[in-house]
Amino acid sequence: MTAHASQNETSATQIDDVVAYMAGLGQAARAAATQMRRAVTGDKNRALLAMAEHLQRRRGEILEANASDLARGRDNGLEPALLDRLALNDARIDAMIEGLEQVAALPDPVGEIEGLRYRPSGIQVGQMRVPLGVIGIIYESRPNVTMEAASLCLKSGNASILRGGSEARDSNAAIAACIRAGLREAGLPEDAVQVVATTDRAAVGQLIAMPEYVDVIIPRGGKSLIERISREARVPVIKHLDGVCHVYIDATADPEKALAIAVNAKTHRYGTCNTMETLLVDAPVAEELLPRLAQAYAVYEVELRGCERSRAILDGIAAASEEDWYAEYLAPVLAVRVVDGMEAAIEHIERYGSHHTDAIVTQDYGLARRFMAEVDSSSVMVNASTRFADGFEYGLGAEIGISTDKLHARGPVGLEGLTTRKYVVLGDGQVRQ
């Protein structure tokens, strides 16, 4: 354990053999995972709170390390948006501390037994929630993600190997020291959370190709990175691709609710995956609602791109091309289409959407019921803003990401998504007849 801990502390340039280094982390993680599986809730919480204390106590060191990352970033011409995500300050460290306290306060999912029932043979059968084992997390240069990922993997009883963006390497090393100290103080294995020390890109290629040591990979970042990792990974990947979210306003909608939802879903934040990118409006109410919507969006300077029928109602808006229906703008741009009823809306959503989050606004019970059943998205909403698709809003307490996969975890992934279920059978000497 000590060997690896000290390995973690060596600087990037001293690691010559990345393959051997990553295998070492993998082995240590596997060993730690066996101990973590048995870790009791109290010890895990103690570790989380101790990490929070170390963040508090080492605030100066962390900000210093971050300043050196930022200086290097500026020298290397890093874009302002990336520098902003890389930057730590007192408020962001406070948020990390608060995040740790929140995760400590969440119920421990490990060991929960569901559905324990007697069978005719006399055995009792149920399913127990258990950790996945070793989780590899690959993310960009956002040092706060280091602590967030560490805390969620730890609370769910997993060992983790964290590979953050190289621009954040000094910040991550400083945070990693707090993590190790917290684990140590709680009597948990320090290798339960390992931060990859090398900035060598080959480390990622190794991390995703060690099924003997790593049970699942969670990449967080741009679509192209995630696609590449999914393609090349030799272990399962829980991933988030795009969020092309729709709001469909049915003719039966309450107009005020429709307006509020359509405006909130687009303008509450532009860069998030649960932001609406295409608005579908039922033909009978298009003439009444579209001008009011356009007026509301104008306040936020949202650019509208419309189909022919919406352009006939709204003067001067740009024409939406076929690509606009597929677009995840992540910007103050909105595609608008007039459709003939819910069936047509669902067809549009199925064809162009990304199965992330889609909402209907309607007062019709039957349509609401059908929309819920028939739209194949990770979140389906009735009369609510797509912006609610979020682990905190859903009550998961925290989220490691939003999965657009169908298998294992779908939608916001909290502690439960980082666990699996095994069958437990309790008998009293029963044998199979």
Instruction: State the Cα–Cα distance between residues 96 and 101, nearest whole angstrom.
Output: 9
Which is nearer to a copy of itself, 61 or 350 (by Cβ)? 350
Residue 11 or 430 having the CB closest to a copy of itself = 430
Neighbours of 211 (CB within 10 A): 12
Report in angstroms how near the CB of residue 361 gets to a copy of itself at its nearest: 8
Q: Compare residues 126 and 221 and give the one whose CB is closer to a copy of itself.
A: 126
In the complex with a copy of itself, which residue's Cβ is closer, 47 or 380?
A: 380
* Distance from C-alpha of 229 to C-alpha of 405, rounded to nearest angstrom: 14
Contact (CB, 8 A) for 58 and 178: yes
Show Cβ contacts of residue 197 under 8 Å, excluding neighbours closer than 6 positions: 7, 8, 9, 10, 11, 12, 15, 169, 173
Cβ closest to a copy of itself, residue 91 vs residue 373: 373
Q: How far is the CB of 215 from a copy of itself (least distance, A)?
A: 6
Separation CA 210–CA 233 (nearest Å)? 9
15: Cβ contacts below 8 Å, ≥ 6 apart: 7, 21, 197, 198, 200
Provide the sign of the torsion angle of the four alpha carbons 224, 225, 231, 236, taken in this order.
negative
Q: Which two tokens stand for residue 383?
A: 């009369």
For a copy of itself, the binding residues (CB under 8 A) are 34, 37-38, 111, 117, 119, 121, 123, 125, 128, 130, 132-133, 215-216, 236, 238, 254, 256-257, 260-261, 263-265, 268, 350, 359, 368, 370, 372-374, 376-385, 387-389, 393-395, 405-408, 410-412, 420-432
Residue 318's CB is within 10 A of a number of other CB atoms, namely 13
Which single residue is written with the structure tokens 């669902």?
346
Ramachandran region, residue 337 (left: φ > 0; alpha: ψ -120 to 50; beta: rest): beta
Minimum CB–partner distance for residue 263 and a copy of itself (Å): 8
Least distance in Å: CB of 83 to a copy of itself? 28
Q: How many Cβ atoms from other residues are within 10 Å of residue 372's Cβ? A: 12
Minimum CB–partner distance for residue 109 and a copy of itself (Å): 13
Find where tokens 């020291």 sit.
177
Picking from 372, 377, 327, the residue whose alpha carbon sits closest to that of residue 356 is: 377
Query: Which ranges in 219-352 belong to alpha helices (H)?
Result: 223-232, 255-267, 283-299, 308-313, 322-326, 341-352
Q: Which residue has the tokens 């929630």?
A: 129
Contact (Cβ atoms closer than 8 angstroms) between residue 199 and residue 206: no
The single-letter DSSP state of residue 14 is: G
CB 289 within 8 A of CB 281: yes
Residue number with CB closer to a copy of itself (37 or 59): 37
H or E segment at 219?
strand 216-219
Nearest CA to 107 out of 35, 156, 148, 149 is that of: 156
CB of 95 to a copy of itself, least distance (A): 18
The continuous run of DSSP H or E covering 193 comes out as strand 193-195
Would you say 173 or 381 has its CB closer to a copy of itself? 381
Residue with tokens 């956002």: 142
